[in-house]
Chains A and B, each alone.
Chain A
């Protein structure tokens, strides 16, 4: 009898101990799960690279390279480290830094990187140690090709509906300027032949060519983007699909429709649903990175379709609402946040930053309407990961070294503060710079990164 009681107590003790341990873990770690979303080349990788370098240099510098990160003053930070997340690739920080040192931009992201940025803070004194146990602030970041993100809205569509909407998008400017080859191909295509691997492969290749051409011309509404940056999990050769003209798609018994419908469902199940589940539903904070320079360098129609791309994404957010945006109620209340970030702000003269910020707000107005319904907190930011430009001879001038090594000066006319203010016939070419020689110093002149992080952790 007493042996049984002893055993019982022991088990109870262990239970209490482990409970206390997990409580301890809960209180002493402050985890921010941040997902960074942005189309490819929007500046995600450069942002991480600079953030990491600034944080790790910060404590050794007499000045403060992130002075507006007031919740985490530099005296308080003991260490900064990059930690792998099990089963995911670690962000190639060293490789990126090396590339920059050799005056090349980092390679663009073609796979998913997952990692934790762990900031350990010093306990100030015994009392504050007792009061505020949290001494680790952890950011879980995920970086992945932006093309995959824009596919998420496909999760809520059937093949036919998707095909029809893809088709109608291609008939509007700016897409239609780049779709003529593809349209001509479909126009004369003989759908009476039964689809086989070769025919489907050829059909898909034609569509892929259109996507590649459109992407190179600044189009962001490209579905399926996964066709451009294939995932290891989905076999396009075997299970591919592409939009069908509505005369074919409207016939539910047509062999092409049947095949593509089946492949489309497979794509959703094998690739999209797990993607959404594993990366997008865990996050409690989100950074949406946007490269407006691209759109500005093309036309107003391009910016409009960027706005539409963003707006479409909201449906994926709404879908994930239960898991994504609802606060985790156990022990800590947390309001979810979204930061809309326009990157590479060093490419716009200081005098035009205000207009640029307003333009950003116009572009996000569609998606924000969705977020407001979900009571999600959001704010807009302008950042640059590196100050590649210098002030020029006038207020609206900027100087920079172009990829050929020549030092140029550009004088900008006023940047429009909303889409309507931009003449459809006009555009603003985007500055393309060489990586400067003094990379380190210019990273230390990055803009807005401290404001952004401060917003996320407060």
Chain B
């Protein structure tokens, strides 16, 4: 055989080390939510928020007075019963206040969403894999407060390979981080809204109902934020509070209306129950609205 001699376009050298072994990631990263959050970032409440909170307090105040008047009315005829009822009301109010305080503290403990992140759109048009991967890593760090998000990021990081293009990295990010978190948040919201409806169904008067809604709204915000591992920024908070207040107002209004209709119908226990269930549906959908606004806020990119 007379094969020509070729010149090799490769330089070869033998190394003194052994080939490193690749490892597969552990498979025991939990994909559910944390019971508690770790971080605590304290920053002052802005005056705007104070104003809004006083509005909420006013609503609570009015419904409280409403309840108070009812009790004093009762006092004239049945003093013993009335004072028992007053004590009970106070106890319930205190208990709910304690719950609200807990939710508020919990929410404040979650890391804040920051607006200085690159948006996904920006990352897409920049078209540089290294930048994208760095930016996504940074986002991941921000969201470590959530075990769920941590799990998603962990899976995401381990699915990435050197040969993936910028577009592919972002697609995988969408599939493995953004979408699952949003799905999880929505399922949390569904449960929360059901609870909100339940509270309004069993609440005996509008004072307790208002407090209850306030509590469940905060809880919804906290639990959803917990899925994301971040809570809304100040501007986001402002929007959410507005919605929460609108919800409270609308909730009270439907409560009033339905109670009125129930009274017109005859005011039996059955009618009251019917009125409350109409209420419950209204409150549940109002809660949905709040939760969806939050999800939109937190998955804004």
Contacts and interface: CB of A to CB of B under 8 A. Distances in A.
Given A68-B172, A427-B8, 11 more contacts: A64-B175, A64-B176, A177-B3, A399-B15, A400-B19, A407-B18, A409-B15, A412-B9, A427-B6, A440-B24, A447-B163
Nearest to A68: B168
A444 interface: yes
Contacts of A436: 19, 21
B172 A426 contact: no
Interface stretch (B87-95, B154-162, B187-195, B260-268): B154-162
Interface stretch (A55-63, A81-89, A112-120, A280-288): A55-63
A445 interface: yes
A109 B12 CA distance: 32
Contact of A63 (B6, B19, B155): B155
Interface in B1-59: 1-4, 6-15, 17-27, 29, 31
B22 A62 contact: no
Nearest to A440: B24
Interface of A: 60-65, 67-68, 70, 73, 174, 177-178, 180-181, 213, 217, 298-299, 345, 350, 353, 387, 390-391, 399-401, 406-413, 423, 425-429, 436-438, 440-442, 444-445, 447-448
A62 B25 contact: yes
B171 interface: yes
Contacts of A447: 161, 163
A413 B10 contact: yes
B159 A63 contact: yes
Contacts of B6: 298-299, 425-427
Contacts of B3: 174, 177-178, 217
Residues of B contacting A: mostly: loop
A64 B20 CA distance: 22
Given A73-B175, A390-B20, A411 B11 contact: yes
A441 B24 contact: yes
Contacts of A408: 12-15
Nearest to B24: A441
A407 B175 contact: no
B21 A67 contact: no
A423 B19 CA distance: 33
Interface in B150-201: 151, 154-164, 168, 171-172, 175-176
12 contacts: A61-B24, A63-B154, A64-B176, A67-B175, A178-B1, A350-B162, A391-B162, A399-B15, A401-B18, A410-B12, A413-B9, A425-B7
A174 B3 CA distance: 8
Interface residues of B, number: 44
A350 B161 CA distance: 11
A391 B20 CA distance: 11
Nearest to A388: B19
B14 A407 contact: yes
Contact of B19 (A62, A180, A345, A401): A401
Nearest to B16: A407
Contacts of B13: 408-410
Nearest to A436: B19
Contacts of B172: 64, 67-68
Given A68-B168, A390-B20, A437-B21, A412 B10 contact: yes
B163 to A, nearest CB: 5
A14 B21 CA distance: 62
Contacts of B24: 61, 440-441, 444
Contacts of B7: 423, 425-427
B176 A67 contact: yes
Contacts of A213: 1
A332 to B, nearest CB: 26
B95 to A, nearest CB: 38
Nearest to B13: A409
